[in-house]
Structure 1
């Protein structure tokens, strides 16, 4: 028996799955671990090249997960909903708290192509010259290069986990010749891993890349389907500037109605309409100060 797809256009969006053999085993030798992480990155590279994947949105979602991981490293309890609130509910002139500052750092790290000047916006406590020196510290294959950068920053700034992880992901992106930083290491590492050095840290980074790359592939497939559905229902929207609003949803993790190019009441109606069409979700779980995203 076959069943019709509820959203035919979504069903046409199929991205290649990560092979099971990449993630099903737990290799222990450095050679095996490096092989698996290389395979995972190669597969992710192919997925990221697909036009169906909303690249900016994917990076923002991964930035959110990296920020969650940093909260765990620092012993804080904030999760996705708290982090979104800490950033999106800021009023003009307000300063973000610690959680908001971490999420903003990751968002800034992914919003522009990898470059020293762009990274200095994400980690403003570091001089551009210092960022350049640490990025150049890494040598060898991509994951090894990222691990060396991570260790170098942590050695020189023991409490600078956030900066170290951002620069390590930047080094990984540069080694892979990706234009943009794709947060991978933070969500795959543990607090104990950040205490490691040398070969132990390198192995931890290889393991982290395998798990995080696999999760990035799954997230890419999910967002590609959601993006396709949003594009499919867009012609049903009658609001002025609906096209521009759809583009915003396709590039941002979360959106407040005030961020849309519509009057407040019209923006709220548009969000409600998109929820009715199954194209957008309400992310805050509140009746007021709501956040929306695909």
Structure 2
């Protein structure tokens, strides 16, 4: 079967950009800030509906960003590289540390369409009934509903900031008609914002969305461009299992060639497809780096991780 080649030019130019006046404005009132966050959300909504965007990869990248933000909120030192290692170097049966556990929560919350079951897999400490009640909490627009849920969860569970942020982003996405959670509030809010209540918290959520969406749109554009180039080199790959490996790169922020591409209980092996040998996986990753479509993310000689 002949593989249709993506139109790289289209992938580079079709994604909407944030209007400059959204991020340049310096307004502080609850009357003005929602206008800016609404414009930002409307721009992102167009991106969410664009087929060229690698949505699974974008969600995984934002899950990493949200995890790093949560670590900062909790006063922990782990940053993106540490968090990647904590999850992507796990062997079957290993347990992640605190940073890895939070990253896995975000991955579980964003990987599948929004539902009570999806969220309970990410948040096993609360019941499905409680999650359903929170998803139905609040009235008004998407941001008002998200702020209401954020406040409700933090009031009931003051030390569960990660759970509150996941549920708030879930309610925001659900209110906007999106099928999946997209970490936005988690990447824009500060720890001091989580102590606010009422209209102060709602205002903080609007400001956070302007900031986080402003950062998300360039990431979406960059990943769309990179994925288009990655898809274009598939016909040049002759290694057995290369197409399956590339499919993983289209959905994961990072992969270990010696774990995700070789372990029959991880990565492609879970779909029943043939896993690669350790040597073949490392050679494939080096080949993709040489072709300029994948990057080595760690700078290490061993325990390397690769991503688009």
Equivalent residue for 2:230? 230
Equivalent residue for 2:245? 245
Q: For the Cα contact (< 8 Å) 1:150–1:168, is it kept in 2?
A: yes
Equivalent residue for 1:51? 51
Equivalent residue for 1:13? 12
TM-score (norm 1): 0.95
1-structure distance, mates of 2:111, 2:51: 18
1-structure distance, mates of 2:218, 2:102: 24
Q: Which consecutive segments of 4 or more residues in structure 1 shift more than 2 A?
A: 8-12
2-structure distance, mates of 1:47, 1:247: 21
Cα deviation for residue 51 of structure 1 reads 1.4
1:266 pairs with 2:280: yes
Equivalent residue for 1:97? 97
Which of the numbers 271, 279, 290 marks the counterpart of 2:293? 279
2-structure distance, mates of 1:148, 1:12: 37
2-structure distance, mates of 1:47, 1:12: 12
Q: For the Cα contact (< 8 Å) 1:70–1:162, is it kept in 2?
A: yes
Cα deviation for residue 12 of structure 1 reads 5.1
Equivalent residue for 2:154? 154
Q: For the Cα contact (< 8 Å) 1:71–1:99, is it kept in 2?
A: yes
Moved more, 254-263 or 100-109: 254-263
Cα distance, 1:103–1:49 mapped onto 2, change above 3 Å: same
Cα deviation for residue 82 of structure 1 reads 0.3
Equivalent residue for 1:289? 303
Q: For the Cα contact (< 8 Å) 1:10–1:226, is it kept in 2?
A: no
TM-score (norm 2): 0.91
Equivalent residue for 2:268? none
Q: For the Cα contact (< 8 Å) 1:56–1:111, is it kept in 2?
A: yes
1-structure distance, mates of 2:176, 2:154: 22
2-structure distance, mates of 1:9, 1:40: 26
What does the per-residue CA deviation read over 1:34-85, in whole Å, with 9 as the maximum and x for residues that have no partner? 1111110010010111111100000000000000000000000111110011
Equivalent residue for 2:137? 137
1-structure distance, mates of 2:45, 2:130: 29
2-structure distance, mates of 1:160, 1:247: 35
Unaligned runs of 5+ in 1: 1-7
Count of aligned pairs between the two proteins:
287
2-structure distance, mates of 1:239, 1:58: 27
2-structure distance, mates of 1:133, 1:11: 43
Q: 1:58-77 alignment to 2 at 5 Å?
A: 58-77=58-77
- Secondary structure of the 1:31 match is coil
2-structure distance, mates of 1:107, 1:10: 31
Cα distance, 1:10–1:239 mapped onto 2, change above 3 Å: farther
Equivalent residue for 1:188? 188
Q: For the Cα contact (< 8 Å) 1:67–1:102, is it kept in 2?
A: yes
Q: For the Cα contact (< 8 Å) 2:11–2:52, is it kept in 1?
A: no
Equivalent residue for 1:26? 26
- Secondary structure of the 2:138 match is coil
Q: For the Cα contact (< 8 Å) 2:289–2:295, is it kept in 1?
A: yes
